[in-house]
Amino acid sequence: KKKQALPLPSAMTTTMGRSAVVCAAAAVGGFVLGRYLFPKTKTGDDDDEEDVGSLSSSSSPFSVSMLARKNIRELEPYRCARDDYEEGVLLDANENAMGPALKPLSKELKGLHRYPDPYQREVKELVAEFRGVSHENVFVGVGSDEAIDLLFRVFCEPRVHDVVIMPPTYGMYKVSAAANDVAVRKAPLEGETFDVDVEAVLATVSMTRTRLVFVTSPGNPTARCVSRDRLVTLLEKLPKTCLLVVDEAYVDFSDVPSMAPLVNQYPRLVVLHTLSKAFGLAGARVGTAIAHPNAVALMNNLKAPYNMNSLTSAVAKTALADRSVLHHTVAALTAEKAALKKKPRRPRRLRRQSLSLRRQLPPRQVQRPPQRQAPLHDPRRQRRRRTLPRRPAPLRRMPQGHRRHQGRKRTTHRQASPIRTRHPPPSIITEEWRSSSSTTTVIVRSFFFSPG
């Protein structure tokens, strides 16, 4: 027989029902109050998941600005005084209308009392013509180091994202990463050719955290030129949340074409150049970044208002306008590089001179290596001197009362090897007599003993 449950009193049932209702109401109220007082904050991983999800969906078009940090996308750029007016009576920037305190003034120095163009439009036009792109694809900065630092600040979230480098490479990548609190991943190069190993790079890249992959072509310091096909293959296989940055500081010395014309076809491609190498303007500090117009706009919003001064801009425009000196310099350095690859050989004229000198010298002096000269106090030096023929020194007369040879037991005054002697004791008195019939001086010593 089954046991029947005992019926509970009606008062207890009512109490249990009220308790359950109170607990449920408290749970709902606590949940609503917690969401109101402590709203949920999105982490970097959540942002990455949203970016990956939005980029993977085919409905939303891709834009490189989607990879930028949220605060950078919402950043309102600094409004410069030269954004509106560049000519006329300019009183909107608190400039000195009397001109610079310099004398005499050249054409470049006359405008130093005015702020420069914040976007360097003339320089961008010349760079775009030289690299085969539009001026909207060009960013001009203080060397390529400024462009590298801006790429970290625009696309990398501190302590969330990371970058990939391929050592040995340019050391500024690690410095900028450390300054912006971004981790660095290292991918190895191919062992014998120092070329980019696409599979090793893809194995190093994180699908959600890696934002930048740096490639130097030609390599620094490997001098390896990466082909355009290999770079395009790497760019197509990288995740859509990752940018490929190709540093072409030495591309003007290479026969491999630049990747700059492909920036509009591949929005995740950034190409860096500098005027410090082939142009020889390292002291002017001029660098460029060629990228998609959306990426260039983000970098312009974040840069300093007047990052390039007027003098540097004038020098850059002069070098880019007339590139004949650039071509001459590149041709000369390339010829020297080709000469270094050949087997080093002495010129024929120098070989003939060395042979004629060997015929003139005695065989012993040619074959015997130079000997180290012995010091003056070395007794071997005295023996070596005695073996050589020596002319006899002439006799000389000693003057009356001369005290140079005191204490020497010597009857002749012929010069010999210098021998240092001590002074005689005070109890010895030396007297000298010189005979009129002979040239020999006789030294007589008398010993006087004191009473003590």
Per-residue pLDDT of the chain (452 residues; tens, 9 = 90+): 444 544 545 555 556 666 666 666 666 666 655 665 555 544 444 554 555 555 554 456 778 888 888 878 887 777 766 666 666 666 666 666 666 666 766 776 778 888 888 889 999 999 999 999 999 999 999 999 999 999 999 999 999 999 999 999 999 999 999 999 999 999 999 988 899 999 999 999 999 999 999 999 999 888 899 999 999 999 999 999 999 999 999 999 998 999 999 999 999 999 999 999 999 999 999 999 999 999 999 999 999 989 999 999 999 999 999 999 899 989 988 888 888 777 666 566 666 666 666 556 555 544 555 666 555 565 555 555 555 556 666 666 666 555 555 555 554 445 444 555 455 554 444 444 444 444 444 444 444 444 44
Pairwise CA distance, residues 285 & 315, whole Å: 10
**pLDDT digits 0-9 by tens, 230-242:** 999 999 999 999 9
Q: Are 404 and 419 in contact (CB under 8 A)?
A: no
| 18 C-beta neighbours (distance < 10 Å), count | 10
Q: Which amino acid appears at position 266 of this protein?
A: Y
The dihedrals phi and psi of 138, each to the nearest 5 degrees, come to: -110, 130
**pLDDT one-digit tens code per residue, 187-197:** 999 988 899 99
Peptide bond into 104 cis (omega under 30): yes
